[in-house]
Amino acid sequence: MNVLQKLVSTGAKTLPRNGLVRHSSHFVYQPDAKAPVEGPTQKMNMFQAINQAMDIALEQNESALVFGEDVAFGGVFRCSMGLQKKYGKQRVFNTPLCEQGIAGFAIGVANTGAKAIAEMQFADYIFPAFDQIVNEAAKYRYRSGNLYDCGSLTFRAPCGAVGHGACYHSQSPEAYFAHTPGLKVVVPRGPNKAKGLLLACVKDNDPCIVFEPKTLYRAAVEEVPVAAFESPIGKADILRSGTDITLVGWGTQIHVLQEVANMAKTQLDVSCEVIDLVSILPWDKETICNSVKKTGRVLIAHEAPLTSGFGAELAATIQEECFLHLESPVLRVTGWDTPFPHVFEPFYIPDKHRCLAGIRKLINY
């Protein structure tokens, strides 16, 4: 079947000018099997779940503020839609286009005891705020001898591949911040985790960063509890039990790995255990190591470049803690050590084919 026949069979009415059809999604979304808590649920995508979480935070605490570039009208991804209308311009407002200023203001607000929810429009834009986050927010409690802190501070930042973002709208910078004691860093895989992690971060006693995979804002849809709930920070989720190999990822990549696990079972008769790390800092060493000791093999996948990606920390710890249980070397399947490309994005990301090839390599070692 050629391209034109495929378009006709799927009901498409027009053919792209270049005659090619590009599928930007490199994953098939896998919703959670059940809601995290009991009670009424509502079907929503990830940006709606995040919006509901911020709505709850603003309602529960009169000191809570939401601010960032363009958040007053809903933000570029619509996560703050309707919040300014409901809570007023004094609590939900735009900032200048200055990430360092957003972070500095957020630290000051949080230091007074207010709940600050600051949005960085893209994770790629967070670097001008790096000094404020790493040298001020993360160290405030320590350098004041616990007299002061900015624990009621949460940064939200859309991250990761989206199909057309290129080098300034596709990066995954979690590893930079994982090297900073005093911060907490989490990455949700869908609406339930996004809502639960955000509410947990808002209440946490340390400054937190929530990296939200932007391609999941609309692609990820689940039944989400209407009531407030929190997902634990620092706890990984075993999404699929297995006996032959452990697959570890976070964010969008976890959906790639779940599809790969099905492919490995069908094509190779290999049983994969799939673990969503969820929390980058702190991370759940116990769950990961227990799984690797059981399976003897591990593949770690993330979109960020290979060198010094957070997978390197996992690999080092697994080597230290599980060496005598390993049947093969720890394998990382990641982005390449290049800037994130535009038209070559499909060749950059660790898709299901690269991950399946990695499983073959580990099994045949």
- Domains of the chain as residue ranges with CATH: 41-225 (3.40.50.970), 237-364 (3.40.50.920)
Give first-to-last CA distance, the chain, whole Å: 38
> What is the rounded CA–CA span in Å between residue 285 and residue 287?
6
Preceding omega of 213 cis (within 30 degrees of 0):
no
Active site residues: 99, 169
pTM value is: 0.93
CB 265 within 8 A of CB 214: no
Distances (CA, A) of 259 to 26, 243, 286: 11, 17, 25
CB 218 within 8 A of CB 242: no
Residue 42: closest CA among 29, 57, 53 = 53
CA atoms within 13 A on the CB side of 47: 18
In angstroms and rounded to an integer, the radius of gyration of the C-alpha atoms of the chain is: 21
Reading the chain (365 residues) residue by residue, the pLDDT tens digits are 443 344 334 444 444 444 444 455 789 999 998 999 999 999 999 999 999 999 999 999 999 999 999 999 999 999 999 999 999 999 999 999 999 999 999 999 999 999 999 999 999 999 999 999 999 999 999 999 999 999 899 999 999 999 889 999 999 999 999 999 999 999 999 999 999 999 999 999 999 999 999 999 999 999 999 999 999 999 999 999 999 999 999 999 999 999 999 999 999 999 999 999 999 999 999 999 999 999 999 999 999 999 999 999 999 999 999 999 999 999 999 999 999 999 999 999 999 999 999 999 999 99
